[in-house]
Amino acid sequence: MCRSPAHTARAAREVVLTAGAIGSARLPLRSGVSTPRPQNALLSGRHPVYALREWRGDTHGALLASAGLTSSEASIVHNEWLGYTDDWDDWLSRSRGWIEQEIDEG
């Protein structure tokens, strides 16, 4: 069901506030709540959505670090999971600035 931008903005903000209340609020999430929001409903929803995106990325990084995976190892696992081809793997690794040694070590 398609909702209004104002409804989406309120719902996104509620998710951010709830995540903060359960103790999972790191800096990007907290800043998404505390940043002044525009009056325009569509733009207002942007802040909590971006904060959630940053929180998601931070969570992925924390999980990978706690598992002891390097960035190149994490990429290899990800690419195998999705079935990327070797050509894609090479392009993706280089697009992230990894050098041949890091790729080989992964």
Residues 59 and 84 occupy one common structural domain: no
Cα–Cα distance for residue pair 78/99, rounded to 1 Å: 18
Higher pLDDT, 92 or 32: 92
Q: What is the pLDDT of residues 27-55, one digit of tens each?
A: 556 665 666 777 887 777 777 777 777 77
Please indicate, yes or no, whether residues 17 and 42 belong to a single structural domain of this protein.
Answer: yes
Residue 88: which domain range? 71-105
* H-helix segments, 1-106: 5-21, 27-34, 41-66, 71-82, 86-95, 100-105
Q: What is the pLDDT of residue 33?
A: 62
Do 61 and 76 belong to one domain? no
Q: What is the pTM of this model?
A: 0.45
Both 54 and 86 in one domain: the answer is: no
Both 60 and 15 in one domain: the answer is yes
Residue 46 and residue 9 share a domain: yes
- Mean pLDDT (the chain) is 71
Query: Are 97 and 46 found together in one domain?
Result: no
- Report whether pLDDT(88) > 80: no
Same domain, residue pair 97 and 54: no
Instruction: Tell me what pLDDT residue 47 has.
Output: 72
Q: How many domains does the chain have?
A: 2
Q: What's the pLDDT at 67?
A: 85
